[in-house]
Amino acid sequence: MRIILIGGGEVGYALARALAPNHDLHVIDHNPAVADRFHPLDVSFVPGSGTSAEVLGLGDVESSDLVIACTGLDEVNIIACALAKKLGATKTVCFVSGNDFLESVSGGYSLREHFGVDQTIWPEAQLADAIQRIIAAPGAIDAESFAGGQVRLLEYRLESGSPLTAAPIASLQLPRGAVVVAAKRGDTITIPHGETHLKPGDKVIVMGRGDAMVAMEARVAPDGRNLRDARQVTIIGGGDVGFRLAQLLDSRDDVSVRMIERDRVRGEMLAATLANALILSGDGTDLELLEMEEIGRSDVLVSVIDNDERNLLASLLGRQLGVTKIITRVSKVANLRLFERVGIDVALSAKGAAVESIVREVEGGKAKVLAVLEEGEAKIFELVVPDDFPATALRDLATPPESIVGTILRHGDAIVPHGNDRIEPGDRLLVFCTDTSADLMRTFFTSS
């Protein structure tokens, strides 16, 4: 694929690193000094502005398949996309950093119609949405939903005494409609089978229909201790992510939000806009403030300051004060592993997620990759069973190892299959597999 990247910042660099091995890449940035950074990658660097037709022409825009505008300025990104589209680019992706361009004219379609922007990506909003999904799932440390919300995917860390650790999976009698699709112990991820015996400290990924997942949630926590719905959420940092998250939570009656923001003027804006959230003016790392406001009694602490060190400090203080679930934003992707090492349950990166979603789309090919988990070690993708494929019971299907059919989508219904369920031509399958077996799985249905 011929790809033009406009903007050689953090996002541009991460995209270039991920896409350079398999695609032709032109990187455009007005700052020639940036070129050094891209030098080790096998890409062509064009100095100049992405809003110049001449510069875009140097990047062979007329024959490009994809133009991604990811400079720090929304206006530049939009103009670059509009120009690229006019000059013949097949598809344009535009990074934005605010609501203005998405909703200013009827439902966000204006950008497509008037500016030729095929897809907009607002990383901070995506992160806020992801955090909101995790908050909504009690006990979970990651959450996704597929098939219009019918199927949910939750990740848990098992504590000692959790019913799931009592026996091998086959004899646990898990609720029908939910299936354990992955277990991670240390750094190795495995697809469990009937004999797998889960242990405390493992991370497990469970997939299933909404109703079954509720029953599943009750089986995760140690006996006699119910997972509590998040009722009290504390957000540290009222930037783009914190503000949007607060907006998402603000309208819910069952969640009370308090937010700590250091900048008083920003805080006043937040207090003016949010109807129910309690805005506290102060520093999220101010222990006195955290204690005075009894932050330790929160069900969830979300730390989304745009400074990794202060985020980590606020999160660790929260843990010290007794918050059970802590979600932290990480700006530098390199810090992700570090955060989890020191005991942060969930560390998420806004730009990382955005980059991932683009890579997923570019690399996915025919099979539609729905989610990438555990930093790319596992994937969920959607496969369509070919029409000439004979209907087979799942237990008789010799699927590649380290893969599992999580859900069968048939005529709009979501079926979480057991061994006896049959796979029929035309079914859409949500397949979970580790990175290594992804290609095997992809070719399995077409070759047999």
Partner 1 sequence: MRLAIVFHLTGTILRFLGAAFVAPLLIALYSRESADAITFLATGVAAVVLGEVMRRQIRHREWTLKRVEALAVVVVTYLLVAMIGAVPYAMNGMTAADAMFESMSGITGTGATTLTDFDYFGRGLMFWRSMSQWLGGLGIITLFIAVLPRLAIGGRQLFFTETTTTPGSGGLKPHVRETAGMLWRLYVGLTLAEFVALMLAGLSAYDAICHAMTTISAGGFSPNPESIMGYNSAAVEWIICGFMFLAGTNFVLQYQTLLRGQLKASIADDEFRVYTAIVAIATIALTVFLLQTDMATATAVRSGLFQSLSILTTTGYASADFSLWTEQSRMVLLVLMFIGGCAGSAAGGPKIWRQILIARYTLLELKRTLHPRALLPVKLGGKVVPEDVMRAVLVFFLFYLLLFAVCVGVVVALGADILTGVTATTGTLGNIGPGFGQVGPMANYAGLHTVSKVVLTAAMLVGRLEVLTVLALLRPEAWRSLTLRGD
Binding region for partner 1 (CB under 8 A) = 264, 267-268, 270-272, 275, 278-282, 289, 292-293
Taking each helix axis as running N to C, give the angle between helix 123-136 and helix 240-250, from 0 to 180 degrees, rounded to the nearest 10. 40
Question: And the tokens for 52?
Answer: 């110049």
Instruction: Find out whether 318 and 334 touch, Cβ atoms under 8 Å.
Output: no
**For residue 79, which of 63, 67, 64, 66 has the smallest C-alpha distance?**
67
Least distance (Å) between residue 182 CB and partner 1? 43
Instruction: Find out whether 113 and 88 touch, Cβ atoms under 8 Å.
Output: no
* Separation CA 329–CA 348 (nearest Å): 5
Least distance (Å) between residue 260 CB and partner 1? 9
Amino acid letter, 136: A
Q: Provide the sign of the torsion angle of the four alpha carbons 155, 159, 163, 169, taken in this order.
A: positive
CA dihedral of residues 312, 317, 322, 327 (deg, nearest 10): -20
Helices (H), ranges, 6-137: 10-19, 35-38, 53-58, 74-86, 100-103, 109-115, 123-136
Of 191 and 279, CB closest to partner 1: 279
Of 246 and 433, CB closest to partner 1: 246
Count of positions (residues) in the chain = 448
Least distance (Å) between residue 424 CB and partner 1? 50
Of 170 and 278, CB closest to partner 1: 278
Amino acid letter, 250: D
Least distance (Å) between residue 271 CB and partner 1? 4
Sheet holding 368-373, edge to edge: 368-373, 378-384, 428-434, 403-410, 413-415
Of 281 and 331, CB closest to partner 1: 281
Question: Which positions ≥6 away from 265 have C-beta within 8 Å?
Answer: none
| 3-class DSSP assignment, residue 299 | coil
Residue 82 backbone dihedrals phi, psi, to 5 degrees: -60, -45
Least distance (Å) between residue 255 CB and partner 1? 18
* Separation CA 114–CA 206 (nearest Å): 43
Of 278 and 342, CB closest to partner 1: 278
Of 238 and 406, CB closest to partner 1: 238
**Radius of gyration, CA atoms only, the chain:** 23
Least distance (Å) between residue 289 CB and partner 1? 6
Of 65 and 283, CB closest to partner 1: 283
Measured at the CA of 143, the angle between CA 380 and CA 418, to 5 degrees, comes to: 55
Least distance (Å) between residue 320 CB and partner 1? 20
Number of C-beta neighbours around residue 165 at 10 A: 19
Least distance (Å) between residue 273 CB and partner 1? 9
Of 285 and 434, CB closest to partner 1: 285
Least distance (Å) between residue 313 CB and partner 1? 19
Of 275 and 398, CB closest to partner 1: 275
Least distance (Å) between residue 282 CB and partner 1? 5
Of 268 and 375, CB closest to partner 1: 268
Question: Which positions ≥6 away from 62 have C-beta within 8 Å?
Answer: 87, 88, 89
* Separation CA 346–CA 427 (nearest Å): 34
Least distance (Å) between residue 310 CB and partner 1? 18
- Give the 3-state secondary structure percentages of the chain, helix then strand then coil, rounded to 5: 40, 25, 35
Of 268 and 413, CB closest to partner 1: 268
Amino acid letter, 78: I
